[in-house]
Each structure stands twice: as structure tokens, then as C-alpha cells.
């Protein structure tokens, strides 16, 4: 490793990875949801679990909420609850995809009354941000059509633009929204925000408080995601990531599981784009997980995922930037590629273990969690009540 180790460690300490409240609840496929023991029954219990992930990794200090899944009467009290457990509330994720009214869309629905209802929900999410102190609203729309001719593609873009403008208008000075795109599902013919270009165009029109979020599972197979990342960073329009891994579609599996090399290539662009350095001066790129754990225990899976992001980041930080530039400038194709591959092939686990020791943490977070007895405790305590899951 030619880059100074102390610098790499300092950068890794600064990278915060946000975990999603829904990762701690039950999830599955449309075929079956397997309930697990010890699953949270309330937003507070989800926060308790998120606090465990931070406790063993030291770099996951915030938890994203999904509304209405995490609806409470007193959001300021929930924020205080999180603070008492050493974490804070992160991005607010809106949900306009689970109400019967939204069968034909939410903000792009042909019926004005449904559009109003959807917009009111998005505005309510900003009200919640005011109470929790969250600065980021995540907008994902399941809106789209299934059949050619079903609705007017352009009219739906107009309706989308109108809703986004209304939300943008409502944002406070320190708040922003991140617009998420997804290639297909649940709609199969057209999605109203299918790709980064569509999201980018809407965001550019609105201004700096509108940015794009890249969910790594929302692309066609073979898409060069690091190109999208490089482009958006250059335009200062990359607001954050929803990290997960995919083999086929929107699998929502643990980040870095299917293709750790892709994650490294993405993080290389992030490092090059200055998005890891001092967050107060650099771009505010949020590193969020958007995952579900259908068959694996949830808390260790989140810990593992945070570690996977850290490993890819550590490798990206190990790239010998000067050697890479030299090879690139010289047109040395093989040499440049070799510099990148050397970094990818570096075993960064000893460095990360050392970093954790420096931070007063156990070098092996998953093992430390298992030894703690937390799972046995929640499995015994969390009996009865309604376990959290999609829609709960």
C-alpha cells in the first residue's frame, strides 16, 4: 500500500453508513415471508437494533425511517429516544406505493384527488423531517403503466414535475430531497422515473436541493453504475446511495455480496469525486443501505453489510492515485488497469481490524455481536405483539 495508512484510516472514520429501519423487520418475497425471532414490534425496537450495528461498527450512527411504517405520535420524542441510544434519525423515506388508491399511480395518477393525497403524504414527510431534524427526504415512486396506451407518458411527466416542484418549495434551507429511479417493477411497461437521466433532468430543473439517489439494485444487468456515479458527482447531483446487491432484479441482498468488484469500482469514483473527504465542504453524499434480510439474521447481516462497504472503500482509498494518473497520461492501458487491480486485490481486513482497535471497538464486529447475548435477550423479550414488516 503506497497511500499513507493514517490518511486511509482517517477517511474511513469519516464515512458514515446509514441503516434502514425496514432491514430489522420481517421481509420476504411474494411467495413467503419467514418470520424470525426477536424481530422489532415498534420503531423504538428498530432503533434499538440499529444502535447495535453502530455499537459494533462505529460507523453507522443513523437510521432511516419509512413513513408510514415508522409512524409515531411524537417524532421529537423518537429522535430523543434514538439520541439516548447513541444514534440519530436519518433520511425520511416516503411511501406512496401501498395504498389501494395508488393502483394506477400516486403523484402521476390520472385522478387529481389521488395526486393530491400522494402529495399531502410527501409534504407530511417534510413536516416529520422538521421534527426529527432529518435533512434528507427520499422519494421513490412505484408509478408507471403496464400496457402501451394505458396512460399518456408525457402527461405523467407533467404531473410528476408538478408534485416535485411542490415538495421542493416546501423544503427548508438545510433540507433536500433525493429522487430515486428504478428500471421496472412494480410497473412493467413504463416506470415514470425509470433511470438516472429522468431523475437528473427533473432535479436539474428544480435546483440544488434536488439530487439523485442511486439504488444499486435498480438497473438493467450490465449497467455501468460507476459511470453514472462519476457523471452525477461531476454535476454535483449525486445525493446518495441505496446500497444493496443483486443477482437478477431488485434483490435487496447484502451489499457487495454478488459483485464486490462493482462496489469497489463505485467507491473508486466516490473517492475520486471527493465525496468521502470532509463532508462539510465536499458533496453531501449519503451512504445508505436499502436491504431486506429474508433468510439471514438481520442485525449481523447489517453489520456485515456495513463492513462490506468499508472494505470496498478501503480498497478504493488504497488506489495509488499518482501511479494511476501517470499510467493514464502515458496511455498505458495495461499499466493503468494494473494499478486499479492492485488496489482491489489488497487485503484490507487487517487495516480495518486495526482501525476498529484504534476506535476502541472489537476488531471482529459480527463475532462481538454474537458474544454480546443481545439476540438471546430480544428473542426472549420480544414475544407477542405485531412484528414489523412491510406494511407494519
- Rounded Cα distance between 251 and 295, Å, is 13
63 membership: H or E segment, kind and range:
strand 62-66
Q: Are 54 and 328 in contact (CB under 8 A)?
A: no
Measured from the CB atom, the residue of 294 and 318 that comes closer to Mn ion is 294
**Phi-psi domain of 391 (left: phi exceeds 0; alpha: psi -120 through 50; beta: other):** left
Residue 93 partner contact from ligand RM4, Mn ion, none using kind-dependent CB cut-offs of 5 to 8 Å:
ligand RM4
Which residue's CB is nearer to Mn ion, number 285 or number 336? 285
CA–CA distance, 352 with 355 (Å, rounded to integer): 5
Which positions from 207 through 226 interact with ligand RM4, judged by CB under 6 A? 215
- Residues in 88-127 at the binding interface with ligand RM4, rule: CB under 6 A: 93
Does residue 140 bind ligand RM4 (CB under 6 A)? yes
The distance of closest approach from Cβ of residue 180 to ligand RM4 in the complex, given in angstroms and rounded to an integer, is: 5
Spatial contact of 225 and 262, defined as CB atoms under 8 Å apart: yes
In which element (H, E) is residue 360 found? none
Query: Does residue 290 belong to the site contacting ligand RM4 (CB under 6 A)?
Result: yes
User: Binding residue for ligand RM4 (CB under 6 A) from 180, 192, 269, 311?
Assistant: 180
Q: Which three cell numbers stand for residue 25?
A: 423487520
Please list, residue by residue across 50-62, b when 16 or more beta carbons sit within 10 angstroms of its beta carbon and e when fewer do: bbbbbbbbbbbbb
Complex with Mn ion: residue 250 or 259, whichever CB lies closer: 250
Residues that bind Mn ion (CB under 5 A): 215, 242, 290
Closest CB 218 distance from Mn ion, rounded Å: 7
- Does position 70 bind ligand RM4 by CB under 6 A? no
- 364 is written with which cell numbers? 471482529
Do β-strands 190-191 and 144-145 pair in parallel, antiparallel, or remain unpaired? antiparallel
Task: Report how many helices (DSSP H) and strands (DSSP E) the chain contains, helices first.
Answer: 14, 10
CB of 69 to ligand RM4, least distance (A): 9
Residues 230-289 binding ligand RM4 (CB under 6 A) are 242, 250
Pattern 349-388, ligand RM4, x by CB under 6 A: ----------------------------------------
Which residues of the shown chain bind ligand RM4 in the complex (CB under 6 A)? Answer: 22, 66, 93, 138, 140, 180, 215, 242, 250, 290
Amino acid at each position: 500500500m503506497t497511500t499513507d495508512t493514517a490518511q486511509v484510516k482517517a477517511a474511513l472514520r469519516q464515512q458514515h453508513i446509514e441503516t434502514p429501519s425496514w432491514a430489522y423487520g420481517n421481509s420476504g418475497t411474494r411467495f413467503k415471508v419467514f418470520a424470525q425471532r426477536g424481530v422489532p414490534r415498534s420503531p423504538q425496537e428498530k432503533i434499538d437494533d440499529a444502535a447495535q450495528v453502530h455499537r459494533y461498527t462505529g460507523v453507522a450512527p443513523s437510521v432511516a425511517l419509512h413513513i408510514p411504517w415508522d409512524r409515531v405520535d411524537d417524532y421529537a420524542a423518537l429522535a430523543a429516544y434514538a439520541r439516548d441510544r447513541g444514534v440519530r434519525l436519518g433520511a425520511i423515506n416516503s411511501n406512496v406505493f401501498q395504498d389501494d388508491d395508488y393502483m394506477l399511480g400516486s403523484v402521476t395518477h390520472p385522478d387529481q384527488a389521488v395526486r393530491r393525497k400522494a402529495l399531502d403524504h410527501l409534504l407530511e414527510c417534510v413536516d416529520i423531517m422538521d421534527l426529527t431534524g432529518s435533512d434528507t427526504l427520499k422519494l421513490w415512486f412505484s408509478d408507471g403503466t403496464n400496457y402501451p396506451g394505458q396512460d399518456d407518458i408525457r402527461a405523467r411527466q407533467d404531473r410528476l414535475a408538478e408534485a416535485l416542484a411542490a415538495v421542493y418549495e416546501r423544503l427548508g434551507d438545510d433540507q433536500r430531497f433525493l429522487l430515486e429511479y428504478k428500471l421496472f417493477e412494480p410497473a412493467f411497461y413504463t416506470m415514470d422515473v425509470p433511470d438516472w437521466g429522468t431523475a437528473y433532468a427533473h432535479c436539474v430543473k428544480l435546483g440544488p436541493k434536488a439530487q439523485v439517489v442511486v439504488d444499486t439494485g435498480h438497473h438493467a444487468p450490465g449497467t455501468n453504475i460507476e459511470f453514472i456515479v462519476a457523471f452525477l458527482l461531476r454535476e454535483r447531483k449525486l445525493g446518495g446511495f441505496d446500497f444493496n446487491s443483486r443477482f437478477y432484479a431488485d434483490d435487496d441482498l447484502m451489499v457487495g455480496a454478488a459483485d464486490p468488484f462493482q462496489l469497489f469500482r463505485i467507491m473508486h469514483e466516490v473517492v475520486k469525486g471527493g465525496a468521502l473527504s470532509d463532508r462539510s465542504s465536499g458533496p453531501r453524499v449519503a451512504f445508505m443501505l436499502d436491504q431486506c434480510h429474508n433468510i439471514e439474521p438481520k442485525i449481523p447481516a447489517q453489520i456485515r453489510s456495513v463492513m462490506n462497504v468499508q472494505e470496498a472503500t478501503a480498497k478504493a482509498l488504497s488506489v495509488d492515485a499518482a501511479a494511476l494518473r501517470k499510467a493514464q497520461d502515458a496511455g498505458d492501458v495495461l499499466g493503468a488497469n494494473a494499478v486499479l487491480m492492485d488496489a482491489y486485490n489488497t487485503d484490507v481486513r487487517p487495516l480495518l481490524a486495526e482501525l476498529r482497535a484504534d476506535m476502541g471497538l472489537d476488531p471482529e464486529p459480527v463475532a462481538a455481536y454474537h458474544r454480546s447475548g443481545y439476540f438471546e435477550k430480544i428473542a426472549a423479550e420480544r414475544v407477542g405483539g405485531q412484528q414489523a414488516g412491510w406494511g407494519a
